[in-house]
Amino acid sequence: MKTIAITRRISPSINQCELTHLERETIDFGRACSQHRQYEEALKSLGVEVISLPVDPGLPDSVFVEDAALVLDELAILTHPGAASRRPEVAAIESVLEPYREIFRIQPPGTLDGGDILRVARRIFIGQTSRSSAAAIEQMKAIVEPHGYQVLGVPVTGCLHLKSAVTQVGPDTLLINPDWVSKDDFPGLNFIEVDPSEPGAANAVLLDETIIYPTSFPMTRAKIEKAGIRMVAVDADELAKAEGAVTRCSLIFSG
């Protein structure tokens, strides 16, 4: 079975992206596109088939494809993004997923961003943030619990999404910023804490036993390497200005 990653080219209107916790800085469009291509090449180097969707100039945040869906082995769930400007992004993702999975949808008034969803084996952790609501968490439970998944809401402070604060870097290991999310909400798992000087360093893409990780966080990167975790490093600092992280730039599933 192959691993597929949906990506999407960066919109030239990226500088009109939604922002919640960061002050707006000018994003160098050309540099951002170059870094995004590097990210796609990193995925390909790990044996992933990349489906790159065309640019949509009218959707500034559309490069962040992860926010539009959750794909499990049994089904796919289209989200209802918390920012109204992002809801038109979902249609393009739906068209790609339809051949692979039965499709379910989060219905309004529930709101959910994929960046708030962290799946670890049969547990699905959902961040309780300004983008993802309790109503959506209840809908998620109704959809996935019949398939043997457990859904757990997780309080998040200080950042946009759950996966800004914690991501998986090994079978039972999470990379975490404990100032933004509590370890107590992830029982039975091991942790690598980000360096305190790099609060945004908790976001990594895990593929088998290797992670894709930004070059911007050298102190945390050293801690990850010391733990023996294999890594492909990529430049990602331009999209970080859009509150973007490496996980948000792909939607990964088994095809």
Q: Are 5 and 49 in contact (CB under 8 A)?
A: yes
Cα–Cα distance for residue pair 25/15, rounded to 1 Å = 8
CA 66 from chain center: how many Å?
5
DSSP state letter for 12: T
> Beta partners for 210?
207, 230
Sign of the four-CA dihedral 106, 111, 114, 120: negative
What is the C-alpha to C-alpha distance for residues 174 and 220, in angstroms, rounded to an integer?
Answer: 13
Question: Residue 3 has which token pair?
Answer: 């691993």
Look at residue 164 and give its three-state secondary structure.
helix
pLDDT of residue 21: 86
- Domain 3-254: CATH class, spelled out: alpha beta
Residue 1 — very low, low, confident or very high, per pLDDT cuts 50/70/90?
confident
Q: How far is CA 18 from CA 39, 64, 72, 143, in A?
A: 22, 11, 27, 29
Q: How far apart are CA 9 and CA 235, in angstroms?
A: 16
Does residue 91 register a pLDDT over 90? yes
User: 182: closest CA among 138, 140, 125?
Assistant: 125
Domain residue limits, the chain = 3-254
Quick check: 71 and 26 in contact, CB under 8 A? no
**Shortest CA distance to 248 belongs to which of 74, 93, 61?**
61
C-alpha dihedral sign at 235, 239, 245, 248: negative
pTM of the predicted structure, to 2 decimals: 0.97
Helix (H) or strand (E) holding 208: none
Average pLDDT estimate for 65-93: 98
Question: How far is it, in rounded angstroms, from Cα 82 to Cα 131?
Answer: 4
Beta carbons of 48 and 4 less than 8 angstroms apart = yes
Neighbours of 230 (CB within 10 A): 12
- Rounded to whole angstroms, how far apart are CA atoms 223 and 43? 23
Strands 150-155 and 117-120: unpaired
Tens digit of pLDDT for each residue in 225-252? 999 999 999 999 999 999 999 999 999 9
**pLDDT tens for residues 118-173?**
999 999 999 999 999 999 999 999 999 999 999 999 999 999 999 999 999 999 99
